[in-house]
Amino acid sequence: MKLWKVIGMAAFAGVAASGVVVARNQRRRAAYTPDQIRERLHERLAEASAPRSE
């Protein structure tokens, strides 16, 4: 029975930790203005469509 308590607490800690990571990423994304997002997308598109030199 004690093993199940430890497993349950570990699962709870894992869910809480993943929630913290998701919240942190959401705050980071929300900090950008729409113009900044558009600019970054245009930069990424230019990088992706540029011919690769191999």
> Does residue 17 belong to any structural domain of this protein?
yes
> Does residue 33 belong to any structural domain of this protein?
yes
> Does residue 53 belong to any structural domain of this protein?
no
Number of structural domains found in the chain = 1
Residue 54: pLDDT band with limits 50, 70, 90: low
Between the alpha carbon of residue 2 and those of residues 6, 11, 31, the distances in Å are: 6, 14, 44
DSSP 32: S
DSSP 9: H
Q: pLDDT digits over 8-53, tens only?
A: 999 999 999 999 999 988 888 888 888 998 999 999 999 988 877 7
CA distance 8 to 27: 29
> Does residue 54 belong to any structural domain of this protein?
no
Q: Domain range spanning residue 32?
A: 3-48
> Does residue 31 belong to any structural domain of this protein?
yes
> Does residue 7 belong to any structural domain of this protein?
yes
